[in-house]
Amino acid sequence: MDPSERLAHNQYQRRYFDHVSRARLALGETTYVNAHLARMQAGVPLQPGQTVLEVGAGPGKFTLPLAERGWDIVANDLSPVLLDQLRQASDQRVRTVCGDIAEVSELTDERFDHAVGFFVLHHLKDFDRVFKGLAKALKPGATVSFCEPVGWNPLYYLQILLTPSMRFAGEPSLSAMRPSVILPALARAGFVDTRAVGYGYFPPQLKNRPWGDRLEQWLDRREWVPFPHAFQHFSARLPG
């Protein structure tokens, strides 16, 4: 992307999120939220004293629970509006860095032990620039972990079509959420041990019901289920 395309993309994302109330950004721990948190916690080798950068943190749906679990977390987002909401919700306890993910290293002198993101990559473009820029904000040996939709799961496309406040232009890389796209981009940025693992099947409306949670856990234990997972966890690390 050239600078004008990048500016237009960032401006659209600001309009898409700043002034529209979205249920998927609502704060509060639920069975659905906790399932993604558990997946992320299992994938991040966090040690005492280490600092985590969360990219695309929004108003803190996942940031706040991680902070409550003792993570020293710094929240990044393109939107000062959403980060202001996060700071208010955390009583100013969570540090923030406002700006483009690829430019975080230029916005703070701090270097991080890990970087995580929940459902942010499919809103981005130019993954080579994003991952190379993110690598500059990390320490040697740092890990990155992302929870994302599965790009070939048809339910996401139905959700966008049937939700008045959602637009395909606001989720421009949904179809790119595939290991064949994300893992090579991480490798080109210098990351190693790249990995993608699918998990989960249900949206929050089903996952948050006791029977839905039990059914999803049962399905996750059975590799023969032909329908694609709804989510996937991408991970990698920088050489030490």
Which structural domain range is residue 38 located in? 3-237
SS3 147: strand
Question: Which residue do the tokens 């401006």 mark?
Answer: 11
pLDDT at 22: 65
Rounded to 5 degrees, what are φ and ψ at 165?
A: -85, 0
What tokens were used for 104?
Answer: 């975080």
pLDDT for 23: 66
Can you tell me the distance from the alpha carbon of 232 to that of 237, in angstroms, rounded to the nearest whole number? 17
Which helix (H) or strand (E) is 150 found in, with range?
Answer: none
Structure tokens of 45?
A: 């080798």
Predicted pLDDT of residue 19: 74
What mean pLDDT, rounded, does the chain reach? Answer: 92
Which two three-digit tokens encode residue 72? 């020293």
pLDDT at 68: 93
Q: What's the pLDDT score for residue 14?
A: 84
Number of domains within the chain: 1
* pLDDT reported for residue 159: 84
Q: What pLDDT is attached to residue 181?
A: 97
Q: What CATH number is given to the structural domain containing 33?
A: 3.40.50.150
SS3 at position 65: helix
What residues are paired with 148 via a beta bridge? 232
pTM of the model: 0.93
Q: Where are the alpha helices (DSSP H) in the chain?
A: 3-18, 31-43, 63-68, 80-89, 104-107, 127-136, 154-162, 179-188, 204-207, 210-220
76 has a pLDDT exceeding 70:
yes
130-144 pLDDT, tens digit per residue, is: 999 999 999 999 999
Dist. CA 19–CA 28, nearest whole Å: 20
The pLDDT, as a whole number, for residue 120 is 97
Task: Please give the pLDDT value at position 24.
Answer: 66
Is the separation of the CB atoms in 193 and 144 below 8 Å?
A: no
Q: Please say if the pLDDT value at position 177 is more than 90.
A: yes
Output the CA–CA distances (angstroms, integers) from residue 224 to 155, 220, 229, in the order listed.
20, 10, 12
| Main-chain phi, psi angles of 237, to 5 degrees | -145, 160
Say how far apart CA 50 and CA 45 lie, in whole Å.
Answer: 10
223 has a pLDDT exceeding 80: no
Q: What is the residue type of 25?
A: L
Q: Which residue has the tokens 């409306």?
A: 205
Greater pLDDT, 122 or 23: 122
